[in-house]
Amino acid sequence: MLSYTRQLHQTQGIVAAKFYPGLNGTKGLLILMVVFTHCLPPSMMLYFLYFCHMPLFMAISGFLLKESAFQSGYKAYIIRMWHRLLMPWLIASLIFIPFRLTGGGPDAQMRFTDIIYPYYHLWYIPSYLIGATICYVMVKKKISVWTVLLAFALITTAWYNIYRDTPTPVTQLPLYYMGDKRLFAYLFFFILAFGLRNGLVQVRITPFALLVMKVIALVSLAFLVLKNFSSLYVVWPYLIFNTCLVLFILVYVAPQKVLQNKLFMLANEQSLGIYLYHPLILTIIYIVLNDRIHRHINNLEALGIFAVAISGTLGLILMLKRWSVTDKYMLGNIKR
């Protein structure tokens, strides 16, 4: 078993708890937000949701990863993840291959970029496994969590500055062959939350202080963006705001029975299926609307599309759950 000297039960707050009901509703809400963002046209609402919902989603994923998951070794962990996440992800990737083919028609062909740049929503599971691997190495080799956090704060900063609002084609970016930026851009929050859950990071800060810091960071960010400051400056209030949001949710919301809405709880239970297959329903909807790039709808119409997309996706999941083979391999329900 892996060992890493710490005093878990002396840490105040989050690691003392055993159950975190607040995360069920929060995770369900976030997966619904993921689908909603994919329905929205380019707008301020879209940009704000992208600003905060994925850092929080990745943080919750890291928080739910306990060190005990590695107690039988890394190989055993990957075998479990193969059945739970990797197999459904690979099947979904195969399903979405036609959406990635260049040009279409008889001359369509796969490109190398179709591998290192997954179909737009499929980056999350590779990123999760990269984060889990880093956490395993960090604990196994007894590397300071603060060293790792500093490294990934710098990595996040680098990705943010290279990719944000750049007119340069992605194929000409200096980190092009490292793959989709999202594989790495949110790992700071994943590792922070893993450290918090497993007693590597201790937090003693009041909700009011977190709120004040979030407001200051958000105001600073708005000022820097409106004044067209470079990404080198914009990235810091981005990191501060989302770090405070993550800490508030994990330290103060997670142990509470909040957001226990039936829809949120259902979305949490079916989060993998919703994540993997909602673009199928969305693609059909936007083909019918003859608006593949979401340019001719407004936010209110996007809300209606979201309702149809969620209903259709849940219907698809219900159908897949009827057969054990699809339930196991496409939805990752290995217990069945």
* Mean pLDDT computed over 91-98: 88
How do residues 282-300 score in pLDDT, each as one tens digit?
Answer: 988 888 887 766 667 788 8
How do residues 248-282 score in pLDDT, each as one tens digit?
Answer: 999 999 998 888 889 999 999 999 999 999 999 99
Is 28 a residue whose pLDDT tops 90? yes
Residue 200: domain span: 8-329
Predicted confidence band at 111 (pLDDT cuts at 50, 70, 90)? low
In a domain, 336, yes or no: no
Q: Give the per-residue pLDDT at 330.
A: 94
174 and 118 Cβ atoms separated by less than 8 Å: no
Structural domains counted in the chain: 1
CA quadruple 217, 219, 225, 228: dihedral sign: negative
In a domain, 1, yes or no: no
In a domain, 2, yes or no: no
How do residues 36-48 score in pLDDT, each as one tens digit?
Answer: 999 888 778 888 8
* Mean pLDDT computed over 170-183: 80
In a domain, 282, yes or no: yes
| H-state helical runs in 169-206 | 182-185, 187-197
Lowest mean pLDDT among 43-47, 225-229, 237-241, 255-259: 43-47
Predicted confidence band at 10 (pLDDT cuts at 50, 70, 90)? very low
In a domain, 313, yes or no: yes
Q: What is the pTM of this model?
A: 0.88
Tokens of 264: 């949120």
As a whole number of angstroms, the distance between CA 284 and CA 61 comes to 30
With H, G, I as helix, E, B as strand and everything else as coil, classify residue 51: helix
